[in-house]
Amino acid sequence: AQSVTQLDSQVPVFEEAPVELRCNYSSSVSVYLFWYVQYPNQGLQLLLKYLSGSTLVKGINGFEAEFNKSQTSFHLRKPSVHISDTAEYFCAVRRTGANNLFFGTGTRLTVIP
């Protein structure tokens, strides 16, 4: 079975400051890792994904994440946040050979002007 833990339910950060949203996972099989963003009253949008290869993954809107197999982590980072980054962020895993995603409980990022 797979599980995803997002350690912080809420993260307030000042505009133009860096941010890190933490994600840890557990799985008995190989998984692929994803970060999604959800703006109010909208569906989920893929920020980035790790399937294989380089452990540093760059996504949209200036976000990046690093896959750390030994620590089973996939933390999301942005060097300088904008007001428009205020949203809910979800870490998710998908086991190889399947299409369904297992999501973490989400982290609400609030950017303070």
Partner 1 sequence: KAGVTQTPRYLIKTRGQQVTLSCSPISGHRSVSWYQQTPGQGLQFLFEYFSETQRNKGNFPGRFSGRQFSNSRSEMNVSTLELGDSALYLCASSKGQATSYEQYFGPGTRLTVT
> Which parts of this chain interact with partner 1 (CB under 8 A)?
32, 36, 41-46, 49, 51, 90, 92, 96-106
Q: To the nearest whole angstrom, how small is the minimum distance from the Cβ of residue 89 to partner 1?
A: 12
Q: Report, in Å, the least distance between residue 113 CB and partner 1.
A: 27
Q: How many other C-beta atoms can be found within 10 angstroms of the C-beta atom of residue 49?
A: 16
Nearer to partner 1 among residue 38 and residue 72 (C-beta): 38
Q: Please, which residue, 55 or 80, has the CB nearer to partner 1?
A: 55
CA distance 108 to 90: 9
Q: Measured from the CB atom, is 15 or 108 closer to partner 1?
A: 108
Taking the least distance from each CB to partner 1, the nearer of 25 and 90 is 90
Cβ 105 to partner 1 shortest distance, Å: 5
Query: Do 6 and 23 form a contact (C-beta atoms < 8 A)?
Result: yes
Residues 6+ apart with CB under 8 A from 6: 21, 22, 23, 90, 91, 104, 105, 106, 107
Write down the least CB distance from residue 74 to partner 1, Å. Answer: 16
